[in-house]
Structure 1
Amino acid sequence: MALEDRNRVVILEDRVENISGADFPMSFDGEDVPFHLEGFKKTFDIKIIRLTPTDIEFDLIGVDASIANALRRILISEIPTMAIEKVYMINNTGIMQDEVLAHRLGLIPILADPNEFQWKRPSDPPTDQNTIVFKLDVACAKGRDVPEGETDPKIKYINSSIYSSQLQWDPKGDQETRFAQNPIRPIHDDILITKLRPGQIISCELHCEKGIGKDHAKFSPVATASYRLLPDIQILEDITDDDAELFRDCFPPGVVDIVEEDGVRKAKVINPRKDTVSREVLRHKQFEGKVRLTRVRDHFIFNVESTGIVSPEALVNQALDILIEKCEISKAALDSAVKGNNEEE
């Protein structure tokens, strides 16, 4: 295999080749490729492509898939947040069962800094240091001065739809002072919880606790955390005129453009990262041997969308800190095991 192809996943019409990593010692006969930290530092890079208040797209370059996947899993399941853990139902005469209503309430993202709270064990009593309390007290009634023939429940009734904005924070201890600048509340005010009709009421108390997504999805701080390998499209022979237009149409908009060189219209790859690698181009016989589709094995395009509890850039930083901590724990365990073996000898 050519040296330049070793970090490429090759996309063929009916299969994918060279999918396994080979950047470890003795992968190839007569070659020893040991890991060097200085060499890793030269090839490793992180590039932020897009950053908004809710999501981030960045490139993670020069690492193995195991590292990229570890980062993804940490983002999903190991960054702590605050979420509704217990629902004490006082009265519920609505159509939705208590357990279903409690489940829907638990999935509402809560804006609260988890670093300001302690972990709560099952045996611990709730305090202002480990618990946030919300109350929900709503009743549906008929509206006044409703036009005759009106059918819209939002006009006919009061509190026909119950939203997350109706959760009322009940500060305990010094919480009101601690969070005066940024009061604890649901991230979004327009999350529909349930619907009521005249005479129906809901009264309950909600306790939020600190947790991680590994315990329950409601604690996960991300809506999505995914990665894909960077596509690489190589045009091996010139593709011109009508074939160039067909070639361009085989890819998503913005991947391929048509340029004119010496009076000849040619297809040119302008932004391969937009490609979805659909392999549509490989279905056409006229392009056989003229194009090569690959993915760069150590170039990961990450997309992380926050639920709003933690900013996307802070999520990535926290995930990296947790990954480093895991590596240090593993290293300490290995050092201890090696030391123990040496002492036995």
Structure 2
Amino acid sequence: MSVDLITILLGLLMSCIPVALTCLYLLSWITPWPIRTRKDFLQPMFVYAPVNPWNEKFRSLLSYDDSSGEELHCTTPDLYLSVIVPAMNEQERLPIMLDECLPYLEGRQTKDDLFTYEIIVVDDGSTDRTADTAYKYTEKYEGKIRVLKLEKNLGKGGAVRRGVLCARGSLILFADADGATKFADLQHLEEELLGLTTLDGYVPEIRSDVNWITPAIAIENECIFCFSSRSHMEKKSIATRSLARTFLMIAFHWIVYIFTVRTVRDTQCGFKLFTRGAVSKLFPLLHIERWAFDVELLFLAEQFSIPIREVPVTWHEVDGSKIVPIISWLQMGRDLILIWFRYKTGIWKTMSGSPRRSRRKSEQNAENKLVMDAERVLNTYDTDSDFGNSTIQWDVTAYISEIKIFIVNESKDGMTLEFDLVGVEAPIANAIRRILIAELPTLAIEKVYLYQNTSIIPDEVLSHRFGLLPIKADPRLFKMPLTRVIGIDESGVDCSEEPAGDPTSGYQSVISLPHFRIHHQWCMMIFWLRNYDLDKRLKLGECHCLKGLGRDHAKFSPVATASYRLLPQIVLKKKFSGADARRVKSSFSEGVIEIDADGVAFVKDARSDTCSRNILRYEDLAEYIELSRIKDHFIFSVESTGALRSAELVVEACKVMEEKCRTLQSLFQKRLKELQ
């Protein structure tokens, strides 16, 4: 009888699965959700004013270029920090929150002139005087606080999205209008976030120079955001929360963990800090505009592998919540399940166009790892044979769609660039590096005419140094000399083109080629100087440069350095504390491993690891630590010699590779036609 009962129960359970799926499809079909298009994100938004509400226009965070297809681009920031405050019928609580945050922000600006900020209060269709209450602060803080009034109530998520898409800051914070979180705790979020945006993990001294991750050339930009958390209050009892709210919080967190977000304990804390790149990446993809929008936001961040950090804050419960008991709870539960269901089935898609995968992330990436052993590197082959698996159909469109580029760091002058290239094989990455070194043309001094050299530097050395001088001229404006040999006569000028003399010019140099002439001011030896007296002044025709390739001579190479490495990964398979934690930390480069407040070692920045295997010296530790590299994630570092910006050099290298591929393709097609 027991066996029959179990069989009956299993049968009932199996029969319930199709019913449950059908119910979910029906629930998804009958549940309305707003469809936002590019037009909605780019529509002009105006600053609210009681007298003339349509006078000043907000500057949009997103821009659109017809040449980029459907892609939206992130505009450059004007300020350091934007604070977005969604408010609906908050005329009583809003002044308390603003009276706390404005003195703090003003104090920061007084101490640091580079700290600039704005506050945007988004009135989400209020029926009271919320907008007018916020507008009163604009008289005292002119230009620093503005009001965006929405005619219809969109929900908290919709209000936050409208607000952040009007933000001008490099960092964007959205904070609830109830003031439940201590605003001064912003500095904790800020320090953690700025540490994530730097290569070494340390907070820069000049905070206004934050790397906000420009996504202009990225398919998928590596952007970061950081938010506060109240989860630590469960142990420390800092929060004062009612019993009913505590029960609902625990139940909500369990539902969130089961269906959507598993890496974050507190998804609903209304104090979140973003980089500008993160906002432009995530908010256009949101579908939920009510209370559960935070969950979808974090869910998408997980899909894009955006680093998320929870930072403890001081929080207290404030009366006046807009959540309607039972109804709001049911809506949030429904939205959580539908977030999981719609992304799981592909009804909703991320930017890459693929629904969430069901396998664990570690299982997905296992085959894409190069495992670092003591004496060897494991998992270097993609297949278990000497030949590729030709039975698998390869689609170039699908392959290209998986390629991603992240701009990690770029110097102010554009001469140095670090970026990540993801989704390609090593031969492609190596080809880009070799093209940067040897296939991109630049200008260099080809011949030197010396007459009565009075310096202590020999003629040969001086001529050699002249040849290595970086010529600050755009090589794209010049043509290759091909087989033409440019002669130089006894006056040091091109035999085929005698430049006209200019008696008013005593120190101009001319790059003289058959079709063009360009002037520069420069000094002897290695350095370019603009406003210094010159010991030697060159007249027209006394300097000749030639366009060439690095493969012909190193002086034509446009890069000082061009290198790449694979993205490191470090997995600690057990908790290391005490002396073991200190040994683990000392075995890696500084900043890679850190020790938390409980004395437990954790991986802070695996990216900074330099492929050190020092940890393998400790046999008692090595077996619990996995060192690996991601096969298709390349960290590029490019430094230009000065002719073009590093980013321009990378683009030119891709153009050269494209031309080579087209040439090879045409040769194959020609040969195939001959064989037919």
Question: In which range does the TM-score fall when normalised by the shorter chain?
Answer: 0.7 to 0.9
Does the aligned pair in 2 maintain the 1:26–1:33 contact within 8 Å?
no
Whole-angstrom distance in 2 between the partners of 1:327 and 1:22: 26
Instruction: Describe the SS at the equivalent of 1:34.
Output: coil
Closer/same/farther in 2, CA of residues 267 and 48 from structure 1, 3 Å limit: same
Match of 1:209 among 525, 546, 566: 546
Shift of 1:313: 0.9
The residue identity in structure 1 corresponding to 2:445 is I
Instruction: Describe the SS at the equivalent of 2:588.
Output: coil
Q: Pick 1 or 2: higher relative contact order, CA cutoff 8 A, min separation 6.
A: 1
The residue identity in structure 2 corresponding to 1:169 is S
Asked if 1:300 is matched to 2:634, the reply is yes
CA RMSD of aligned residues (A): 3.5
Counterpart for residue 45 of structure 1? 404
Closer/same/farther in 2, CA of residues 171 and 289 from structure 1, 3 Å limit: closer
Superposition pairs of residues 281-296 of structure 1, within 5 angstroms: 281-296=615-630
Does the aligned pair in 2 maintain the 1:91–1:202 contact within 8 Å?
no
Whole-angstrom distance in 2 between the partners of 1:223 and 1:50: 17
Segments of structure 2 that go 5 or more residues without pairing to the other structure are 1-362, 488-492, 500-505, 529-535
Match of 1:55 among 416, 420, 434: 416
Shift of 1:50: 0.6
Does the aligned pair in 2 maintain the 1:231–1:273 contact within 8 Å?
yes
Counterpart for residue 222 of structure 1? 559
Counterpart for residue 105 of structure 1? 466
Asked if 1:64 is matched to 2:421, the reply is no
The residue identity in structure 2 corresponding to 1:257 is E
The residue identity in structure 2 corresponding to 1:296 is I
Match of 1:77 among 434, 438, 452: 438
Asked if 1:191 is matched to 2:526, the reply is yes
Q: Which has the larger radius of gyration?
A: 2
- Structure 1 residues 31-74: Cα deviation after superposition (integer angstroms, max 9, x where no partner): 94332224323421010001112100000001010000000001
Counterpart for residue 35 of structure 1? 394
Closer/same/farther in 2, CA of residues 273 and 61 from structure 1, 3 Å limit: same
Instruction: Describe the SS at the equivalent of 2:451.
Output: strand
Closer/same/farther in 2, CA of residues 212 and 22 from structure 1, 3 Å limit: farther
Whole-angstrom distance in 1 between the partners of 2:472 and 2:375: 48
Closer/same/farther in 2, CA of residues 236 and 202 from structure 1, 3 Å limit: same
Counterpart for residue 110 of structure 2? none
Instruction: Describe the SS at the equivalent of 1:329.
Output: helix
Closer/same/farther in 2, CA of residues 280 and 172 from structure 1, 3 Å limit: closer
Counterpart for residue 240 of structure 1? 577
Does the aligned pair in 2 maintain the 1:84–1:206 contact within 8 Å?
yes
Closer/same/farther in 2, CA of residues 267 and 22 from structure 1, 3 Å limit: same
Does the aligned pair in 1 maintain the 2:444–2:468 contact within 8 Å?
yes
Counterpart for residue 197 of structure 1? none
Closer/same/farther in 2, CA of residues 307 and 44 from structure 1, 3 Å limit: same
Counterpart for residue 158 of structure 1? none
Whole-angstrom distance in 1 between the partners of 2:673 and 2:385: 25
Whole-angstrom distance in 2 between the partners of 1:27 and 1:289: 32
Closer/same/farther in 2, CA of residues 209 and 185 from structure 1, 3 Å limit: farther
- Structure 1 residues 94-128: Cα deviation after superposition (integer angstroms, max 9, x where no partner): 44332222111100101112122222245354799
TM-score normalised by structure 2 residue count = 0.39
Instruction: Describe the SS at the equivalent of 2:579.
Output: helix
Shift of 1:218: 0.5
TM-score normalised by structure 1 residue count = 0.74
Whole-angstrom distance in 1 between the partners of 2:653 and 2:671: 27
Does the aligned pair in 2 maintain the 1:89–1:205 contact within 8 Å?
no
Whole-angstrom distance in 1 between the partners of 2:483 and 2:515: 22
Match of 1:119 among 450, 468, 480: 480
Counterpart for residue 8 of structure 1? 369
Whole-angstrom distance in 2 between the partners of 1:327 and 1:97: 46
- Structure 1 residues 287-313: Cα deviation after superposition (integer angstroms, max 9, x where no partner): 132101011111000000011111111
Shift of 1:340: 0.9
Whole-angstrom distance in 2 between the partners of 1:82 and 1:46: 29
- Structure 1 residues 209-265: Cα deviation after superposition (integer angstroms, max 9, x where no partner): 1111111111111000000000011111221222112111111122111124xxx42
- Higher normalized strand content (fraction of residues): 1
Whole-angstrom distance in 2 between the partners of 1:226 and 1:11: 21
Whole-angstrom distance in 2 between the partners of 1:172 and 1:295: 49
Matched pairs, number: 291
Does the aligned pair in 2 maintain the 1:111–1:185 contact within 8 Å?
no
